[in-house]
Amino acid sequence: MKMENMSLSGLDNTKLEALAQDIYSDLVEDACLGLCFEVHRAVKQGYFFLDDTDQESMKDFEIVDQPGVDIFGQVYNQWKNKECVCPNCNRSIAASRFAPHLEKCLGMGRNSSRIANRRIASSNNTNNKSESDQEDNDDVNDNDWSYGSEKKVLIRQMDNVLFSLPGELSSSVNTDPYKYNYNTGINYETLGPDELRSLLTTQCGVISEHTKKMCTRSQRCPQHTDQQRRAVRVFLLGLSATSLPDSNTAVESDGYDASDGQVLMSRLQWDGSSDISPSDSASSKASTNNSDSKKPKKKKKTSLNSTGGGGGGSGSVGGSSSQGCLAGQANRKKPKLPVPPAPSIYDNLN
Amino acid sequence: MNKDSQMRAAINQKLIEMGERERLKELLRAKLVECGWKDQMKAQCKDVIREKGLEHVTVEDLVVEITPKGRALVPDSVKKELLQRIRASLAQHSTL
């Protein structure tokens, strides 16, 4: 071994290089031989030509190298210049603009400003109970059908149905359930006094100019002011000044002063109308406010003077449930006073 | 001459013993596949086979046809790298 080592170190560079070359060529030859064996075995076993495609297919799927065409031979912007006819508005729209146009045209997409379309639609159908409530439909438009908005719609529908339960409106319930699916607004003309009262105790009730329907949002709905609400109540229930629970203290004081005298009057007149009130309260099942508020009023009519004057009494009536006060006065008013002609006062209020 | 061939045989044997020859061989094969030499040679083989006929081709036919072409078709970069590796391993062994 040592001899070989010495001989290696003793070699000059040319010989070393030659040696390296020899080793290299041996290695290449080995590689070639290995390849030959591999190919020969593949041929004899019959799998050598398996990964080739036939000539015909090669010609069919040859790579295309023409301008204006991709490598499969398809034209790139073939459908860009085509025009489609919109089924809604019957206009000819470019293909690439067709989808956004449909979204706006049908009013069903996210950016479609459905309110505008619905206003147009509702202005055509003022007599039918089409949708006037804007809040829920906005939400439905924006959300991708979240469960929350669905719940809201359901709750609104329940409220509407409940309010229309009383006997006089049984017919209207039968005729309008499908419309209630749209969460329709309330048309005050078709509602009786009891329903109006019960509606106004829980809902905003402001009559929309566009649709002549009452707003079904809560008493604190931001779209309408308290003045509007009061005006609507005055218009619908007669000329009794009412106080709302969320009004200012100044307003409340006015309400108290106004209702003070009227509560006294109502107390006097309740004895005569006491027969009417239980039946009314029984008929309006959902508005438990009325029944609850009427009873304490009856009990307290003797104690009204004893408890700190009319302010305290009306406070219990007006503060805790102004709806009850409202309802009580409405209850009193309706049988006594003739209903004012609707359109004229409405015009004055507007 | 005898000494040279003897020496060569001895060195080769040593390379084999060290396992260096095997490593060099694997390295060469991998490089040839990488650079596409193998696919080229296979295409050449196809020509030879079509020439000789599928049934009657022998290993000898292939070897005779393919080896000179194969030697010529090895890319220069592969050749240089392999020579470098060989020299390095020879130098390594000379110090042992």
- Total domains in chain A come to 3
pLDDT beyond 60 at A280: no
Residue B95 binned pLDDT confidence (cut-offs 50, 70, 90): low
**Chain A interface includes B29 (CB < 8 A):** yes
Please report, for the domain that includes residue B81, its CATH number.
Answer: 1.10.246.140
Would the CB atoms of B41 and A35 count as touching at under 8 Å? yes
**Residue A56 domain-assigned?**
yes
Residue A94 is inside which H or E element, if any?
A: strand A92-94
The answer to whether residues A8 and B94 touch, using CB atoms and an 8 Å cutoff, is yes
* Nearest residue, CB atoms, B86 vs list A7, A20, A32: A20
Instruction: Tell me, yes or no, if the pTM score tops 0.90.
Output: no
Would the CB atoms of A31 and B8 count as touching at under 8 Å? no
Percentage of chain A beyond pLDDT 90 is 6
Same domain, A21 and A70: yes
CA distances from B67 to B12, B26, B45 (A): 22, 18, 11
Q: How far is A95 from chain B (nearest CA, A)?
A: 47
Model confidence pLDDT, tens digit, residues A248-277: 444 444 444 555 555 555 555 555 444 444
A144 or A331, greater pLDDT: A144
Same domain, A18 and A70: yes
**Residue A175 domain-assigned?**
no
- Total domains in chain B come to 1
Residue A103 binned pLDDT confidence (cut-offs 50, 70, 90): confident
* Nearest residue, CB atoms, B90 vs list A7, A20, A49: A20
Q: Which of A109-113, A168-172, B86-90 has the lowest mean pLDDT?
A: A168-172
**Which pLDDT value is given to residue A233?**
85
Of chain B residues 39-68, which have a CB less than 8 A from chain A?
A: 41-42, 45-46, 49, 54, 57-59, 62-63, 66-67
Q: For residue A8, how many C-alpha atoms fall within 13 Å in the half-sphere facing its CB? A: 22
The answer to whether residues A278 and A189 touch, using CB atoms and an 8 Å cutoff, is no
Residues from chain B that touch A37, judged by Cβ atoms under 8 A, are: 59
Q: Which residues contact A213 (CB under 8 A, 6 or more apart)?
A: A132, A184, A185, A186, A187, A188, A207
Q: Which residues contact A25 (CB under 8 A, 6 or more apart)?
A: B71
Percentage of chain A beyond pLDDT 70 is 45
HEC states along A209-265? CCCCCECCCECCCCCCCHHHHHHHHHHHHCCCCCCCCCCCHHHHHHHHHHHHHHHHH
Q: Indicate the average pLDDT of chain A.
A: 65
Q: Which of A202, A302, A317 is nearest to A255 (CA)?
A: A317
Sequential DSSP letters for A95-137: GGGHHHHHHHHHT-STTS-HHHHHHHHHHH-SSS-----HHHH
Residue A180 binned pLDDT confidence (cut-offs 50, 70, 90): very low
**Residue A186 domain-assigned?**
no
**Which pLDDT value is given to residue A255?**
45
Residues from chain B that touch A25, judged by Cβ atoms under 8 A, are: 71
**Which pLDDT value is given to residue A95?**
85
Model confidence pLDDT, tens digit, residues A303-325: 444 444 444 444 444 444 444 44
Model confidence pLDDT, tens digit, residues A206-216: 888 778 888 88
Nearest C-alpha in A relative to B88:
A20
A174 or A112, greater pLDDT: A112
**Residue A86 domain-assigned?**
yes
Same domain, A63 and A45: yes
**Which residues span the domain enclosing B44?**
3-93
Instruction: Copy the structure tokens of residue A140.
Output: 């439905």
- The residue type found at A101 is H
**Which pLDDT value is given to residue A303?**
46
**Which pLDDT value is given to residue A322?**
45
**Which pLDDT value is given to residue B57?**
87
Mean pLDDT over residues A156-173, rounded? 53
Residue B36 binned pLDDT confidence (cut-offs 50, 70, 90): very high
**Which pLDDT value is given to residue B69?**
92
DSSP H helical segments within chain B, as ranges? Answer: 2-18, 20-35, 37-52, 59-73, 76-95
A270 or A93, greater pLDDT: A93
**Residue A32 domain-assigned?**
yes
ipTM, interface predicted TM-score of the complex: 0.92
Model confidence pLDDT, tens digit, residues B21-34: 899 999 999 999 99
Mean pLDDT over residues A127-140, rounded? 48
Residue B74 binned pLDDT confidence (cut-offs 50, 70, 90): very high
pLDDT beyond 80 at B81: yes
Residue A108 binned pLDDT confidence (cut-offs 50, 70, 90): confident
Q: Which of A9-18, A80-89, B2-11 has the lowest mean pLDDT?
A: A9-18
pLDDT beyond 80 at A47: yes
Burial of residue A310, with CB atoms counted within 10 A of its CB: 0-12 exposed, 13-18 middle, 19 or more buried: buried
Residue A205 binned pLDDT confidence (cut-offs 50, 70, 90): confident
Instruction: Copy the structure tokens of residue A346.
Output: 């409405």
Residue B63 binned pLDDT confidence (cut-offs 50, 70, 90): very high
Model confidence pLDDT, tens digit, residues A67-87: 878 888 788 777 767 888 888
Q: Which of A41-50, A101-110, A278-287, B58-67 has the lowest mean pLDDT?
A: A278-287
**Which residues span the domain enclosing A98?**
81-118
**Which pLDDT value is given to residue A37?**
93
Residues from chain A that touch B12, judged by Cβ atoms under 8 A, are: 23
A159 or A227, greater pLDDT: A227
DSSP H helical segments within chain A, as ranges? Answer: 2-10, 13-45, 55-60, 98-106, 114-124, 134-142, 147-163, 170-175, 177-180, 193-202, 226-237, 249-273, 276-283, 288-300, 309-314, 322-336, 342-349
**Residue A329 domain-assigned?**
no
Reduced to 3 states (helix: H, G, I; strand: E, B; else coil), residue A5 is helix
**Residue A134 domain-assigned?**
no
- The residue type found at A340 is P
* Nearest residue, CB atoms, B82 vs list A4, A24, A32: A24
**Residue A212 domain-assigned?**
yes
